[in-house]
Structure 1
Amino acid sequence: MIEDTMTLLSLLGRIMRYFLLRPETLFLLCISLALWSYFFHTDEVKTIVKSSRDAVKMVKGKVAEIMQNDRLGGLDVLEAEFSKTWEFKSHNVAVYSIQGRRDHMEDRFEVLTDLANKTHPSIFGIFDGHGGETAAEYVKSRLPEALKHHLQDYEKDKENSVLSYQTILEQQILSIDREMLEKLTVSYDEAGTTCLIALLSDKDLTVANVGDSRGVLCDKDGNAIPLSHDHKPYQLKERKRIKRADPDILTFDLDKLQPEFMILASDGLWDAFSNEEAVRFIKERLDEPHFGAKSIVLQSFYRGCPDNITVMVVKFRNSSKTEEQ
């Protein structure tokens, strides 16, 4: 059920919307109609050309209004257009999330930390619903809490346990998937969701992923290190993996990488940014109130992203700009 409902048709629709909404597409359309009008001089075409010119002027005016803001950090002018905007900030983590151009908000996120007593690793999650918000909301409300309780039990007797962060992640993701299948099948709800979960301890970062939400880390040298691999349902191998809800799970040595920050985001961001572009963009904006998460979300919207966009930025302790914890 997780990520099961995304099809090749929806992917093609997303690509078409992405290109049709870009200002340069409207500009080329206007030029084409102007040439047609020049050669054929029809009143109907002239009317279309005038309307297209007006549309282009409107888009160019909006772009000019956006670009005059320093580093796109003051994009409040766009926020009135968002039907739903969520934001979160606590210690070393910040999240900014918008509904954007979609009719519904299907993204969800969760942060569970215990910085004082450290009874469990910090838990960070991104969930991008498809075919509705039901599955994303269900996994968001159930999976992090289930992980928290199992991790607390594990931390009490870690040395004698046969489990690990990887096995706990896999077991709980599969358990929640089975549980959700039973409940949603009864109500004939066909919604699915991606699942990107990161567990952060003192020494290690463990990341589990199902779907095409993505994580990337900035190491001590400013390099972009992928934390996950996208699962695309139009690839037969990945479609089978998604149907089984098999997560990819990777573990990273924090002492070796000495990371500055990581980005966890729904695919709305990755439609507009590469891993390397996103890392460079955030690195220059870590001193902003949302550690650059708000700026990169709004920049993705400006670039024409048609999807919901959710970005989480987590700063690590060895970052010179990390707040006191």
Structure 2
Amino acid sequence: MIGDTMTLLSLLGRIMRYFLLRPETLFLLCISLALWSYFFHTDEVKTIVKSSRDAVKMVKGKVAEMMQNDRLGGLSVLDAEFSKTWEFKNNNVAVYSIQGRRDHMEDRFEVLTDITNKSHPSIFGIFDGHGGEAAADYVKAHLPDSLKQQLQAFEREKRESSLSYSSILEQRILAVDREMLDKLSASHDEAGQGRGVVGGTTCLVALLSDRELTVANVGDSRGVLCDKDGNAVALSHDHKPYQLKERKRIKRADKLQPEFMILASDGLWDAFSNEEAVRFVRERLDEPHFGAKSIVLQSFYRGCPDNITVMVVKFKGGAGGSSKAGE
């Protein structure tokens, strides 16, 4: 993660919140306590069982109400829950992003393409801020544009250059990381807050040319590819604090005949596995947001406590667009 990493304690807290908020978890708890009550007939357990049943009814009722409102074409319930909901659609890429149950919206995304002149590969990015929005805002504002400039120079001088898409991605991410730490730390000094942690952000970036897909990942956002047979192919590895060894950050996917890819912040992956997400989106590619909106809302319904941002890029047809998320 750029500038900062999640602690193991926060990771465990997220896992606990995720499982405890899911309706099926409450339902299983209710069943377990009911069986215990049946065999041991304790008044205390019976009281807990009744409370658990009431909790399950409350959660199911809330979910049903939200799903009904969404089916009716409105987001009246969701609008009260989400103070920031961003969406973007242009040609073959769609994004849907919600604040969810968090007090602040720290997810950002960016799409930069040039389908007319093809002066550079398409650039897709997901940035999930941690400890504030500053780092995600900085990376969104600086990394895609600096990548675009270097990629354009690379395309003009490709025959004479020793660089590759992978090396350009790695160089630019490291450079922006250093610049961000210097500038944000200096801002903290000027504000009298002292030099120290300034927050951080994940950084998931995909470069897509006519023949090559290159993905770089820092942090726990994740990219997944759906091949022509509907199989889920991991494009990145999560960087978690409990990993014993740093995994390779750059992965290239060539000649896979892909159908689409999903780039998303960890809010999605708290509720969906790679395979589940691919199946869910594949069944909804004909929707206006290529399934991005549906899977975001479904993640929320499943109890995800985090910001959720999902980008779906279809490989059939052209690409284009530039998001203005957060503006």
Superposition deviation, residue 131 in structure 1: 1.2
Tell me whether 1:291 sits opposite 2:299 in the alignment: no
Letter in 2 for 1:201: S
2:12 corresponds in structure 1 to 12
Letter in 2 for 1:300: S
The share of aligned pairs that are identical, in percent, is 76
Classify 1:273/1:170 alpha carbon distance in 2 versus 1 (closer, same or farther; 3 Å). Answer: same
Alignment of 1:45-60 (within 5 A): 54-60=54-60
Give secondary structure in 1 for the equivalent of 2:159. helix
1:196 corresponds in structure 2 to 204
Within 2, Cα distance between the matches of 1:73 and 1:116? 39
TM-superposition CA deviations, 1:150-191 (whole Å, max 9, x none): 111111121111111111111101100111111122214530
1:281 corresponds in structure 2 to 280
2:233 corresponds in structure 1 to 225
Alignment of 1:90-239 (within 5 A): 90-186=90-186, 187=188, 188-238=196-246
TM-superposition CA deviations, 1:112-157 (whole Å, max 9, x none): 0111111111000001111111111111110000000111111112
Within 1, Cα distance between the matches of 2:175 and 2:122? 20
- Work out whether residues 97 and 310 of structure 2, in 8 Å CA contact, stay in contact via their aligned partners in 1: yes
TM-score of the superposed pair, with normalisation by structure 2: 0.85
Letter in 1 for 2:212: D
2:267 corresponds in structure 1 to 268
- Work out whether residues 73 and 295 of structure 1, in 8 Å CA contact, stay in contact via their aligned partners in 2: no
Within 1, Cα distance between the matches of 2:263 and 2:165? 19
User: Which runs of at least 4 in structure 1 moved beyond 4 Å after TM superposition?
Assistant: 27-36, 48-54, 66-70, 72-75, 322-325
Superposition deviation, residue 4 in structure 1: 2.2
Classify 1:202/1:313 alpha carbon distance in 2 versus 1 (closer, same or farther; 3 Å). Answer: same
Tell me whether 1:259 sits opposite 2:258 in the alignment: yes
Superposition deviation, residue 88 in structure 1: 0.6
- Work out whether residues 113 and 320 of structure 2, in 8 Å CA contact, stay in contact via their aligned partners in 1: no
- Work out whether residues 17 and 306 of structure 1, in 8 Å CA contact, stay in contact via their aligned partners in 2: yes
Letter in 2 for 1:264: L
Classify 1:41/1:199 alpha carbon distance in 2 versus 1 (closer, same or farther; 3 Å). Answer: closer
Q: Which runs of 5+ in 2 are unaligned?
A: 189-195, 322-327
Tell me the C-alpha RMSD between the 2 structures: 3.0
Classify 1:24/1:283 alpha carbon distance in 2 versus 1 (closer, same or farther; 3 Å). Answer: closer
TM-score of the superposed pair, with normalisation by structure 1: 0.85
Within 2, Cα distance between the matches of 1:73 and 1:219? 33
Superposition deviation, residue 302 in structure 1: 1.0
- Work out whether residues 269 and 309 of structure 1, in 8 Å CA contact, stay in contact via their aligned partners in 2: yes
Classify 1:269/1:75 alpha carbon distance in 2 versus 1 (closer, same or farther; 3 Å). Answer: farther
Within 2, Cα distance between the matches of 1:115 and 1:317? 13
Superposition deviation, residue 35 in structure 1: 4.9
Superposition deviation, residue 107 in structure 1: 0.9
Within 1, Cα distance between the matches of 2:320 and 2:285? 15
Aligned pair count reads 309
